[in-house]
Amino acid sequence: MSIDNIPHEHQNILKGLQSEDSLKVIETLEKLRISGKASDIPLLIEMLHISQNSEIKSKITGLFDNLKESDAIPLIVEAIQNQKYAPELKELVSSCWENGMDYSKYIALFVDLLIDNDLEVALEAYTVIMNTENKIDQAIIDQEVEKLEKALPSVSEQKRQLMLDVIDFLPSIGF
Domain boundaries along the sequence of the chain: 1-101, 103-175
The residue ranges of the chain whose pLDDT is under 70 are: 1-7
pLDDT at 80: 98
Contacts of 147 (CB under 8 A, 6+ apart): 108, 111, 112, 115
Contacts of 75 (CB under 8 A, 6+ apart): 38, 41, 42, 45
The predicted-structure confidence for 25-54, as pLDDT tens digits, reads as follows 999 998 888 888 889 999 999 999 999 999
pLDDT at 19: 85
Burial label, 139 (beta-carbon count in 10 A; 0-12, 13-18, 19+): exposed
d(CA 63, CA 158): 30
pLDDT at 170: 96
**Is the full-model pTM beyond 0.85?**
yes
pLDDT at 3: 34
Q: CB under 8 Å, gap of 24 or more: what pairs does 32-37 form? A: 32/63, 33/62, 33/63, 33/66, 35/10, 36/63, 37/10, 37/69
pLDDT at 35: 84
